[in-house]
Amino acid sequence: MKKEPFVTEEQLKEIVQKYPTPFHLYDEKGIRANAKALKEAFSWNQGFKEYFAVKATPNPFLINILKEYGCGCDCSSMTELMLADALHFSGKDIMFSSNATPASEFKFADEIGAIINLDDFTHIDFLEKTIGHIPETISCRYNPGGVFKISNSIMDNPGDAKYGFTTEQLFEGFRVLKEKGAKHFGIHAFLASNTVTNEYYPTLAKTLFKVAVQLKEETGADIRFINLSGGIGIPYRPDQEPNDIYVIGEGVRKVYEEVLVPAGMGDVAIYTELGRFMMGPYGCLVTTAIHEKHTHKEYIGCDACAVNLMRPAMYGAYHHITVVGKDNHVCDHKYDITGSLCENNDKFAIDRMLPKIDMGDLLVIHDTGAHGFSMGYNYNGKLKSAEILLKEDGSIQLIRRAETPKDYFATFDCFDILKDMKQR
């Protein structure tokens, strides 16, 4: 089976004339259609809001597209907060979900009015000492522990995750926060990653809704929102059936009416914090085959490497690859597709059956729109690539330039040791 790139061979040839590979390319049309579908799927909930997980794709041009559809920002660090603030998101449109949080980040989040989502019981006192008060609206991250199952299938293991309050801590935390002045509450949980099933959100929602009802009854807390966080995945493999956001939204609605409405909580807002689902399929990494190697295996070396896309090296993750212009050729060659890092795990694919690859062929590595560019690093002195937007009208827009050696050495600019370096 194969995946069709969102960009044509002719468009790519035009792009590489202006911007050399490697680069990340994004599909504006797909991003907009998906954001619209999410909004429609949860339109039954008057307070619904998507807080886009900035860590997935921290590019202001792309975030501004989502802003047009009412999306906010889910931030987890100082620089992500700064980015959201610079894009003129108002405080209530920023969710600050962090862990092991430095005091300076809590201070800044409070200054800009972001909703703070506490990760741990001990953060209650830490936050109060840091900013001098407890915000009127605050959220707590819940981790029930154990394993998370859907239809007897284990989806993930929250008990091993570093995040969140235990059940006992959550109830005590709500009591303490209420005593310290909090008036409005939210609950947040992330129990499984990259689920390709329409059952995940409704199952998670039912768990959180029941806890919310119990919290209201036992603590008297005014629960204003329930944040289902992320976890809705994408079909990285071509034989996977994609999630249907309309089915997911309807599933959450049914559970909402089953659990919350009878408890007098029919005005609770539903929040989501989707990154992968919002952007993943609408980005790709474009790279050029520049070397071939015939040893114990057949290797194709690319001008991209794990610096541009870490997921295969870090997780052994699958990303589909299209050899541009050879969609209809027989996949009768077995290759390892590699980068040039001095690391043997710097491979985009292992033993992948593909058409014969010739030097100069363009390769499209699919589904890099989330956790692609953003996970990049500078090992071996490699530089991060450009990011380019394929506009709805077929034109292209540079939305981040490629790094240069000057960028790499910028943090030595307070010293003289590199003053004689030749500029490249």
Domain 282-412 CATH superfamily: Lyase, Ornithine Decarboxylase; Chain A, domain 1 (2.40.37.10)
Average pLDDT (347-373) is 98
In tens, the pLDDT along 203-217 reads: 999 999 999 999 999
In tens, the pLDDT along 328-346 reads: 899 999 999 999 999 999 9
> Taking 60 as the threshold, does the pLDDT of residue 152 lie above it?
no
Pick from 197-201, 220-224, 418-422: least confident: 418-422
In tens, the pLDDT along 268-292 reads: 999 999 999 999 999 999 999 999 9
* Distance in angstroms (rounded) separating the CA atoms of residues 53 and 369: 12
Cβ(27)–Cβ(311) below 8 Å: no
Of 40, 44, 37, 93, residue with least CA distance to 267 = 44
H or E element, residue 400: strand 396-400
Residue 170 vs residue 161, higher pLDDT:
170
* Distance in angstroms (rounded) separating the CA atoms of residues 155 and 81: 31
Sign of the dihedral through C-alpha 78, 84, 86, 89: negative
* Distance in angstroms (rounded) separating the CA atoms of residues 420 and 418: 6
SS3 36: helix
In tens, the pLDDT along 309-324 reads: 999 999 999 999 999 9
pTM of the model: 0.95
Tokens of 34: 């998906």
Alpha helices (runs of H) in 284-415, residue ranges in sequence order: 311-315, 405-408
Pick from 7-11, 74-78, 144-148: least confident: 144-148
In tens, the pLDDT along 26-41 reads: 999 999 999 999 999 9
The number of residues making up the chain comes to 424
Cβ-based neighbours of 344, under 8 Å, separated by 6 or more: none
Share of the chain above pLDDT 70, in %: 97
The domains of the chain are located at 27-280, 282-412
Cβ(329)–Cβ(354) below 8 Å: no
Query: Confidence band (pLDDT; 50, 70, 90) for 159?
Result: low
Cβ(96)–Cβ(116) below 8 Å: yes
- Using N-to-C axis directions, what is the helix angle for 60-67 and 78-86, rounded to 10°? 60
> Taking 80 as the threshold, does the pLDDT of residue 123 lie above it?
yes
Query: Confidence band (pLDDT; 50, 70, 90) for 153?
Result: low
CATH 3.20.20.10 correct for 27-280: yes
Q: What is the pLDDT of residue 149?
A: 67
> Taking 60 as the threshold, does the pLDDT of residue 154 lie above it?
no
Interior CA angle at 196 toward 339 and 34, to 5°?
Answer: 85
Q: What is the residue-averaged pLDDT of the chain? A: 95
Strand partners, 301: 291, 338
Same CATH fold assignment for domains 27-280 and 282-412: no
Query: Confidence band (pLDDT; 50, 70, 90) for 419?
Result: confident
